[in-house]
Amino acid sequence: MVKALAGRGHRVTFYEPNAYQRQEHRDIEPPPWAEVVVYEPSEQEADRLVRAAQSADLLIKTSGIGVLDDFFEGRIPAARTGGNRVIYWDVDAPVTIARLRSDRPGPLRATLPSFDLVLTYGGGDPVVRDYLKLGAKSCHPIYNGLDPETHHPVEMDGKYECDLGFLGNRLPDREQRVEGFFFRAAEVSPGLHLLLAGNGWADKPRPKNVSYLGHLPTALHNVFNCSARAVLNICRNSMAENGFSPATRVFEAAGAGACIITDDWVGIEQFFAPEQEILVARNGDEVAGLMEKLTPEQARNIGARARERALTQHTYAQRAVQFEAAVAEGGGRP
C-alpha cells in the first residue's frame, strides 16, 4: 500500500520500533518508495518523532504496533494542527472493537472521536457501524490487495509440488480452524499429498500425508502457490465471524494464478466469484470433496480467472485511489 501511494506522488515516512528483533527478520531492505525511521521504543523518543511529524499532511496511527500503542493512541490526536489530519488505521478491527467495548479499552476509547478518520483492513458494513457507534467521525474499509510486481505466476518447483498447500503461521485463534479444514481434509483423503508452511507447526501432530516446510520467506510464496494443485485459505476466528476480511495471502495466491479454496465467510462474493474464481468449503470434509473432483485443468482455469479479477479490481494501485477518496471525504488532503 505504501509503495502504491508513493507511486501516486505521495511521500511516506514509515516509523518502525526497534523491538521484538524485527530488524533481524526484515523481509526487505529499506525501500526506495518510503523513508524508514527505526526508533528506540521510549515515550521520550516517540514524543520527539510525533512532534517532528506534525508538518506532514497526514499522521497515521496503525493498530497493533506491539509497543507504545497506548502512548500513540493518546498522543497522535493531540498532534493535530490546522494544516494536518490524523488517522487511525486498524489492521485487526474485530480485536480492537472488542477491546474498546471491554472494561480495559485503553486511551483509544476516549480519543477515537478526535481522529479525523478510521480506516480498517476489512470488516465491511458491520465494522463501519461498530466504529461509528463508538464515536468515530468516519470509517472506511481499505481491503488487502495485490502487488503484481511481487506476486505473479512463476515456474513450478517439484520441491513444493502437492495436491493442497496451506501457508500460515500457527496462531491461537486459528489453530482449531486449521485442524478442522486442513488436517481434517488430510485425514479424510489419505491419498492426497498436502504441504504445510509457516512458523510454529514443528511440534504439531499431523497426518502422515502432510509434509511440513517450516517458515517460508516471502520470496518463495509465488513458487509455493504455483506448485500446488490448489491452495487453502483459512481465516482467523474473528475474521471469519465478522466476514468481509480477505487475507493478504488470498490476493497473493490469486496474483500467482493459484486455485484457491477458502473457508466460508460472509462477503466472499464481493471479492471473488464462488465456483468460478474461488472454491468455498464449510469444513474439512468439503475441502476433501472439492479436491477429489478438482482436475489440474479446472484448477488452472479457476486460478486464471482469480488472477484476472485481482488484476482488474484488487491491486494496491486501486486501493491507493480508494485511500485518497476516503481521506478527501474525511476532510483531509490526499
Give the tens place of pLDDT for each residue, 15-39: 999 987 666 767 778 899 999 999 9
Per-residue pLDDT tens over the stretch 215-237: 999 999 999 999 999 999 999 98
**Mean confidence (pLDDT) of the chain:** 95
Mean pLDDT of 41-68: 96
For the domain made up of 158-313, give the CATH fold.
Rossmann fold (3.40.50)
CATH pick for 2-145+316-329 out of 1.25.40.420, 3.30.420.40, 3.30.479.10, 3.40.50.2000: 3.40.50.2000
Which residue(s) pair with 59 in the sheet? Answer: 86
- What does the alpha-carbon distance between residue 205 and residue 186 come to, in Å, rounded to a whole number? 12
Domain residue spans of the chain: 2-145+316-329, 158-313
pLDDT at 241: 86
Q: Which residues, including other chains, have CB under 8 Å from residue 208's CB and lie 6 or more apart?
A: 190
- What does the alpha-carbon distance between residue 49 and residue 65 come to, in Å, rounded to a whole number? 15
Which residue(s) pair with 62 in the sheet? Answer: 89
Q: Let me know if the fold of 2-145+316-329 is the same as that of 158-313.
A: yes
pLDDT at 23: 67
Mean pLDDT of 133-143: 96
Extract the runs of DSSP E, i.e. beta strands, from 91-243. Answer: 117-120, 139-141, 162-167, 194-197, 210-214, 228-233
pTM for this structure? 0.91
Indicate if the pLDDT at residue 161 is higher than 90.
yes
Write down the H helix ranges in the chain. Answer: 2-7, 43-53, 69-75, 93-100, 108-111, 124-133, 175-178, 184-188, 221-227, 237-242, 248-255, 284-293, 296-313, 316-329
- What does the alpha-carbon distance between residue 223 and residue 243 come to, in Å, rounded to a whole number? 29
pLDDT at 14: 95
CB atoms within 10 A of CB 132: 13
- What does the alpha-carbon distance between residue 171 and residue 106 come to, in Å, rounded to a whole number? 24
pLDDT at 331: 55
